[in-house]
Structure 1
Amino acid sequence: MNDELIKRAKTIISKILYITIATSNKLGIPWNTPVYSAFDKDYNFYWISWRKNQHSKNIKENSQIFIVIYDSTAVEGQGHGVYIQAKAYELDDNKEVEYALKYLDGRINKTGRHKASQFQGSKPRRIYKAVPEKVWVNTDIRINGEFVDDRIEINLN
């Protein structure tokens, strides 16, 4: 069953272009936002954001984030999602930025659309990276005949 769940998670990740990132500041005040993202072979996630966006400021204060990837058009009770606890940070190393851009631009077949210099120095936007620590998928179970939405931890690598 675990192989099925891993395959399902990888399919969802491959299919959905926007992930939802939950962050919080140092006071614990939450913020949630969707971002276009890409991922590498190790299932690290990358996105581009303005440094002054709330989620970007929160990541500077608190690197712990939570990602949810799901198909919001699924029929009620039929949806599947991937849930990821991760650490996130802003990329500043030129090689890391170029590596991330290969996936961000490549995912939509626009390789070379961006240059690393667009996300460094005094430029307003940055590339962020999330490194997963734990990953779950939802599965349904029945308790006394009633549907319960459950989570099962998986390993994507």
Structure 2
Amino acid sequence: MSLPEDLDALARTVIDENRYMTLGTSEADHRPRLSPVYFTHAGYRTFYWVSSPEARHSANIAARPEVAIVIYDSSMEIGQGSAVYIDAAASLVPDEELPERCAEAFPRVDPGAVAFRPDELSGDAPLRLYRADATGYEVHLPGRDPRNASGIDTRRRVDPVPPA
């Protein structure tokens, strides 16, 4: 992955070029629960995934909707890593919103992925559509990056959402 100089553009590149995110939820006893999920996004603001409502991360979201997300390219060489950290509020997409949200979440999908229809995510279906609305973003800035005078890996606040 060729990394852009602009950190907002870097965040967009990492989000666009990766297919899985690590979803961080909180257990009832405050222990973190990490789950890798295939995701899509709408305008870098809303992140979608499909899960069973029986999954522990889904139950955690129902009880505690604040989540943390990280999207990163694990194929990068040591010291060259790039990642986007996202704070968000997550929720199950209600059945009445499924037509609109499925159209937004699945306008196109990667080979092997499914463009779910509302009827496949409601009623007795075993899977549901979830969304996370981003509230804040940071990018990983390696210590070796010339923009990082400290020489120590750090995070920098960004806003990857392009202006309207």
Q: Kindly report structure 1 stretches of 4+ aligned residues shifted beyond 6 Å.
A: 109-112
CA-based RMSD: 2.1
Structure 2 vs 1, CA of residues 53 and 111 (structure 1 numbering), >3 Å: closer, same or farther? closer
Given the two structures, how large is their TM-score scaled by the length of structure 2? Answer: 0.83
Structure 2 vs 1, CA of residues 100 and 27 (structure 1 numbering), >3 Å: closer, same or farther? same
The structure richer in strand per residue is 1
Given the two structures, how large is their TM-score scaled by the length of structure 1? Answer: 0.87
Structure 2 vs 1, CA of residues 42 and 17 (structure 1 numbering), >3 Å: closer, same or farther? closer
Which residue of structure 1 aligns with residue 95 of structure 2? 93
Which residue of structure 2 aligns with residue 122 of structure 1? 124
Report how many residues are paired.
Answer: 151
Superposition pairs of residues 30-41 of structure 1, within 5 angstroms: 30-41=32-43
Q: Which runs of 5+ in 2 are unaligned?
A: none
Shift of 1:66: 0.4
Structure 2 vs 1, CA of residues 137 and 113 (structure 1 numbering), >3 Å: closer, same or farther? closer
Answering whether residue 31 of structure 2 is matched by residue 29 of structure 1, we say yes
The structure richer in helix per residue is 1
The share of aligned pairs that are identical, in percent, is 29
User: Partner amino acid for 1:125?
Assistant: L
Structure 2 vs 1, CA of residues 16 and 120 (structure 1 numbering), >3 Å: closer, same or farther? same
Q: Is the 8 A contact 1:37 1:104 kept in 2?
A: no
Q: 1:44-100 CA deviation, whole Å, 9 max, x = no partner?
A: 100000111111111011001000000011111101100001000000133x32333
Shift of 1:105: 5.5
Which residue of structure 1 aligns with residue 133 of structure 2? 131
Q: Which runs of 5+ in 1 are unaligned?
A: none
Shift of 1:35: 0.5
Residues in 1 aligned to 2:88 and 2:18: alpha-carbon distance in whole angstroms: 18
What SS class does the counterpart of residue 28 from structure 1 fall into? coil
